[in-house]
Structure 1
Amino acid sequence: MSIKLIASDLDATFLKNDKTFNEVLFQEVLDKLHAQGGQFVVATGNHVQKVRDYFKNFPGQYQLIANNGAEVILDGELMHVWSVSADVPAVVDNLANKYKAELQLGVSFVAANKAFMIVKNPNDEHLDFAKKYFENLTLINSVTEINEPILKVSLVLPRLEYEFMREIKLLLGNKVHVTTSGYGAIDIVNPNVNKANALTYIAETLNVKPSEIMAFGDGLNDLEMLEYVGQPFAMTNSDEELFQHDFARSVTDNDNDGVLKTILEKL
Structure 2
Amino acid sequence: MDGTLLDADGRIPDGLWRLLPRLRDRGIAFAPASGRQLATLQRQFAPADVELDYIAENGAYVMRDGVEVSSDAVAPEFARAVIERVRGLARLDIGLVVCGKRSAYIERSDAAFLAEADRYYARLEVVEDLTAVDDQVLKLAVFDFALAEQSVAPELFDLRETHQVVVSGRHWVDIMNTGVDKGRALARLQDALGIGPEQTMAFGDYLNDLELLRGARWSYAMAEAHPEVVEVARYRAPSHTEGGVITVIEELLAR
What displacement does 1:64 show? 0.8
Q: 3-state DSSP class of the match of 2:54?
A: strand
Q: What residue number does 1:93 align with?
A: 83
> Cα 1:155–1:12, aligned 2, differ >3 Å: closer, same or farther?
closer
Percent of aligned pairs sharing the same letter: 25
Q: What residue number does 1:64 align with?
A: 54
- Could you tell me the TM-score, scaled by structure 2's length? 0.85
Which stretch shows the higher mean deviation, 44-53 or 253-262?
A: 44-53
What displacement does 1:217 show? 1.2
Q: Is the Cα contact below 8 Å between 1:95 and 1:168 reproduced in 2?
A: no
Q: 3-state DSSP class of the match of 2:2?
A: helix
What displacement does 1:101 show? 4.1
Structure 1 segments unaligned to the other structure (5+ residues): 1-9
Q: 1:76 aligns with which of 60, 66, 83?
A: 66
Q: What residue number does 2:196 align with?
A: 209
- Could you tell me the TM-score, scaled by structure 1's length? 0.82
What is the number of residues matched between the two proteins? 249
Q: What residue number does 1:260 align with?
A: 246
Q: 3-state DSSP class of the match of 1:61?
A: coil
Q: What residue number does 1:40 align with?
A: 30
What displacement does 1:233 show? 1.5
Is it true that 1:189 corresponds to 2:179 in the alignment?
no
What displacement does 1:58 show? 0.2
Q: Is the Cα contact below 8 Å between 1:109 and 1:116 reproduced in 2?
A: yes
Q: 3-state DSSP class of the match of 2:3?
A: helix
For residues 16 and 249 of structure 1, the distance between their equivalents in structure 2, rounded to whole angstroms, comes to 17
Q: What residue number does 2:155 align with?
A: 164
Q: 3-state DSSP class of the match of 1:14?
A: coil
Q: Which amino acid aligns with 1:90?
A: R
Q: What residue number does 1:54 align with?
A: 44
With a CA cutoff of 8 Å and minimum separation of 6, indicate the structure with the bigger relative contact order. 1
Which protein is bigger by CA-based radius of gyration?
Answer: 1
Q: Is the Cα contact below 8 Å between 2:213 and 2:232 reproduced in 1?
A: no
> Cα 1:91–1:254, aligned 2, differ >3 Å: closer, same or farther?
same
Which stretch shows the higher mean deviation, 40-49 or 90-99?
A: 90-99
Measured on the aligned residues, the alpha-carbon RMSD in Å equals 2.4
